[in-house]
Amino acid sequence: MSISSACSTIALSKFIQALPKAELHVHIEGTLEPELLFALAQRNKITLPYSSVQALRKAYAFDDLQSFLDLYYAGAAVLLTENDFYDMTMAYLHRAHADGVIHAEIMFDPQTHTERGVAIATVFAGIARALREMRKATGMSSYLLLSFLRHLSEAAAFATLESALPLRDTYQDLWIGIGLDSAEDGNPPEKFTRVFARCKELGFRLVAHAGEEGPASYVTSALDQLRVERIDHGVRSEEDPALMQRLIQQQIPLTVCPLSNVKLKVVTDLSQHNLAHFLRAGVLVTINSDDPAYFGGYIADNYLACAQALNLSNDELVTLARNSIQASFLPSDRKYTLLHSVQA
Ligand code: ADE
Ligand code: ZN
């Protein structure tokens, strides 16, 4: 790299970090860095099948979504106590804050933990303590999206919802929504129609992963059957022109995760990513990190990599930051204030 291109990369990074932005698609379990994973394994006397942090990091080479999920669920096994969830969440919040995140909507997968015997109250308590402390210290706001694992049954999702509902009052400032994640292939949105209907009745905001590895029809059924307000990923929507028109007309947000899409081979190369097409066609797209500890970058890294690979202008980067606030579940007065701060 020449000196002048290094200088322009530094200037671009600073511009991106200074942009106030919301992160709307991040799995807290996907922020567990190998160093912390090793430290927690030691604290909890768990033996890992890797000799070192470097050996674990080396294993982060994925062929597809499932090969990633296998490692991701195995990694989450080091999380046992409230303090473990607190430490993981705090580490993410510090990195997000440094990247200019002023609001985060964070997914967590209780079933990954309750299946191992960890109480759902422990999961909530550790994550929420970190979110509240960070809000107090920096003003960064956050919400929680409890996500159901779609490779499990709808009955299991209902049971998880029932076990979480007694905690709703305690976490009413944070737990505002429901998501759907894990293996998309063979687990269409309509498998969860009844539990999502129940969540809607209860007043939760709804999102679902769709059109990551799965077809565009999964995006349509997430919208029509699950009645979600926002689609996580949705990059395969482009295969259906009528769906694209709908996304544009109804301004349905997509939370796109470019580095994730490269690592999971959803796209062959970032230069082939359709994010810029979506943006220029008028879709309400946003940039997010998904599982930053596994995919080689936090939110600002995602913005920077896209700016460089897709030749995004500074105005387009501002639009992406504005979109992230627009697509959030924040009340309209806070959205208005934050949109002004982006423009400034
Ligand atoms: N869980 C964590 N990351 C995910 C992804 N990218 N897709 C589906 N489920 C996930
Ligand atoms: Zn995701």
Q: Which two tokens stand for residue 253?
A: 């947000």
Contact between residue 81 and residue 316 where contact means Cβ atoms under 8 Å apart: no
The pair phi, psi for residue 172, each rounded to 5°, is -65, -25
| 184 Cα–ligand 2 center, Å | 11
How many whole angstroms separate alpha carbon 38 and alpha carbon 294? Answer: 14
CA–CA distance, 268 with 263 (Å, rounded to integer): 9
**Residue nearest atom 7 of ligand 1, based on CA coordinates:** 182
pTM over 0.95: yes
- One of 1.20.1090.10, 3.20.20.70, 3.20.20.100, 3.20.20.140 is the CATH number of 21-343, namely 3.20.20.140
* Atom of ligand 1 at shortest range from CA of 27: 2
Dist. CA 5 → ligand 2 center (Å) = 32
Name which of 98, 15, 19 is nearest 324 in CA terms: 19
For 59-81, give the secondary structure using H, E and C. CCCCCCHHHHHHHHHHHHHHCCC
Q: Please enumerate, as own/partner, the contacts of 185-190 that have beta carbons within 8 Å and a separation of 24 or more.
A: 185/65, 185/66, 185/213, 185/214, 187/150, 187/151, 188/214, 188/218, 188/221, 189/218, 189/221, 189/222, 189/225, 189/226, 190/221, 190/225, 190/226
pLDDT digits (tens, 9 = 90+) for 19-62: 999 999 999 999 999 999 999 999 999 999 999 999 999 999 99
Report the pLDDT value the prediction gives residue 4, as an integer from 0 to 100: 76
Residue ranges covered by each domain of the chain:
21-343
DSSP class of residue 28? G
Q: Going by CA atoms, what residue is nearest to atom 10 of ligand 1?
A: 182
> What is the number of the ligand 1 atom nearest to the C-alpha of 29?
2
Q: What is the reported pLDDT for 241?
A: 98
Q: Tell me how crowded residue 183 is: count the other CB atoms within 10 A of its CB.
A: 17
Asked if 212 is an active-site residue, the reply is yes
Q: Is the CB of 27 under 6 A from ligand 1?
A: yes
Could you tell me the distance, in angstroms and rounded to a whole number, from the CA of residue 232 to the centre of ligand 2?
A: 6
Ranges in the chain, pLDDT < 70: none
Going by CA atoms, what residue is nearest to atom 9 of ligand 1?
182
How many A from CA of 6 to the centre of ligand 2? Answer: 31
* Concatenated DSSP letters of 249-313: HHT--EEE-HHHHHHTTSSS-GGG-SHHHHHHHT--EEE--BSHHHHT--HHHHHHHHHHHTT--
pLDDT digits 0-9 by tens, 148-178: 999 999 999 999 999 999 999 999 999 999 9
Q: 212, 229, 238, 239: which one is catalytic?
A: 212
* Predicted pLDDT of residue 7: 79
Handedness of CA 106, 112, 115, 118 (dihedral sign): negative
HSE-CB for 272 with a 13 A CA cutoff: 8
